Each structure stands twice: as C-alpha cells, then as structure tokens.
Amino acid sequence: MQKAIVFSIEEFSVYDGPGIRTTVFLKGCPMRCNWCHNPEGFEPRVQVVKNLNGCERCGACKAVCPSPGACILCGRCISACPKNLIRFSGKEYTAEGLASKLLKNADYLKKCGGGVTFTGGECLLYADFLIAIIAMLKGEKTHTAIQTCGFADERKFKAVVSAVDYVMFDLKVMDRQEAIRYTGCDNAPILKNFRNLCAGGTPFVVRVPLIPGVTDTKKNLQAIADLVKDSPALGAELLPYNKMAGSKYRLVGKKYSPIFDQTAEPNIDTEIFIKAGIPVKVL
C-alpha cells in the first residue's frame, strides 16, 4: 500500500493549474531554497508544531512530555495546551484514503475545469504514491497536476510525468554554483529532468520564483528564457518574492535566515520572456 505524509490540503486554490483545484501539500523536500516560505514541507515525517503566538509559557506542555528533546509524537502536549496552540503537522494517508477524500469534491472540480494538484515540499519524494493516486483520480475522470522542483530520480520523474495531466516545473537558479549555494542542490539533475519533460508529451508550464538578486537577475532570467523558448512549454509563470516568506519558521522551531537582500523589490521582468516569444504571467 502506497503512503504519503500530507501537511495541508487546500480546497479552491486558483493559482495551481487550470480551473478550480484542490492542492495537496506532501511533506518532505530534498532542496533547501534559501527563500522557502513553507518550512513545514522540509521534513518527510510527522512533526509536532507549536504556534507561539498567544503562548503564555504556562508549561503545561512540558509538564506532560515523557521524552523531552526527542519527540515521540505521543501528542500529550497537544491535549495539554490550554489554548490549543500545538498540533501535528503532517498526516499519513494511503493513496486509496486520500483519493476517496479528494473525490468527494470531484463533481465540482470537473464542472469548473479544474482538478487536483500535488505539490510540497517536493511531491516527487512520493513518486510511487503519486503514480497510484493519479491512476485512481484519472479513473474517476479527475484532472491531475503536479508542481515540482524537478530534483528527482530520472526514472521516477518520467513515470510520474507520463501519468499526470499537467506539470508546473520550477526553474530557479540556472548557474550551477549559485544553485548549490541558494537551494542546497546541484541543478544538473533538474535540467536533465527538464529535458525529459520536454521529450514527453505532457503539457507543462515553467514557474520562476523571483528572488531579489538571486533568480531575478537579467542573466538568470535570460538563461531561463533561452531554455524555455525552444521547449514545448505552454508558458512561464513568475512568482515575485514576498516578504512574508519567513512567517512560518517559528512554528517549526526554525529561524529564517535569508542570505539575499530580502528588502529589495523583486525585478518583475516579463519583457525577457515576451521577447523570447514565451507567454508569461505574474502570479
């Protein structure tokens, strides 16, 4: 039985593919993009997270903890918190269980030209799960999409991409050294998978986060445009950096430490793409 850890399911998402969609966030990511806004997606396991807003340090959670310093996910602190500020992040689903939950809204999704989008974290961490659930959803005539960073085993990447109806593929940092510096990963496998994506017949768009001084430079955007213009991509979607990116770190007990100038306004340069003949929109 295929299983995956889900940390959020969002109904009525409007920017994650065609039509009205339900977006499933799978937990765990091989990359550590320096600007990541969703640290809940880092670890591929269930965690206990604490919302410190409103916490009065009453100590009730600590008092019941049987294993301080090494969480055993017993959930006692969750029940103990008088203000309900503690919760699990992540819930394990079987492909069958998640599919049947998602299919409860299938009638609406179909009517609105939408479907289900899997994202993360990095959804391809659960490639076998995806292949199983995509088959179940498509069996019920529900459109499927993935949003991926492309950093994945080639064989699995190809298998998922050939199963799914639509792909949103991230292109972030084109320079190899810079990519390692800012995302914690070599971009060679990503570019390889991009070529795999182009070779397959699945419709896709390219997504580019615009991070000030990192991805939004003329050089980087031009490199992306050069790569995309000769590809079968339907277009490019630009996501300008938002200064809210750090807001969830405290929840997972981490500190947000950007190494770029996050006060700078992102360079929303659609011209480069237009000149290259690539349909572009800003999300």
**At closest approach, how far in Å is the CB of 261 from another protein?**
17
- 257 part of the interface to another protein, by CB under 8 A: no
- 244 part of the interface to another protein, by CB under 8 A: yes
CA dihedral 91, 94, 98, 100 (to 10 degrees): -140
- 140 part of the interface to another protein, by CB under 8 A: no
Residue 114 burial by Cβ neighbours in a 10 Å radius (0-12, 13-18, 19+):
buried
**At closest approach, how far in Å is the CB of 55 from another protein?**
12
Binding positions for another protein, 108-137, rule CB under 8 A: 108-109, 111-112
- 54 part of the interface to another protein, by CB under 8 A: yes
Cα–Cα distance, 235 to 238 (Å, whole number) = 10
DSSP 244: T
CA dihedral 266, 267, 272, 277 (to 10 degrees): 50
Tell me if residue 142 falls in helix, strand or coil.
coil
- 100 part of the interface to another protein, by CB under 8 A: no
Strand ranges, E, within the chain: 3-13, 21-26, 47-50, 86-89, 91-94, 115-119, 143-148, 166-170, 204-210, 236-240, 280-282
Closer CB to another protein, 46 or 239, in the complex? 239
Cα Rg for the chain, rounded, in angstroms? Answer: 20
Closer CB to another protein, 55 or 180, in the complex? 55
Closer CB to another protein, 97 or 200, in the complex? 97
Answer for which of 53, 59, 257, 263 binds another protein (CB under 8 A) is 53
Cβ atoms within 10 A of the Cβ of 31, count?
Answer: 23
Q: Are 210 and 241 in contact (CB under 8 A)?
A: yes
Answer for which of 57, 155, 243, 255 binds another protein (CB under 8 A) is 243
Answer for which of 203, 213, 246, 258 binds another protein (CB under 8 A) is 246
Query: Where is 108: in which H helix or E strand?
Result: helix 106-111
Contacts with another protein, 3-22, as mask; x by CB under 8 A: ------xxxxxxxx--xx-x
Binding positions for another protein, 22-41, rule CB under 8 A: 22, 37-38
Contact residues: another protein, CB under 8 A: 9-16, 19-20, 22, 37-38, 51, 53-54, 79, 104-105, 108-109, 111-112, 207, 239-248, 250-251, 281-283
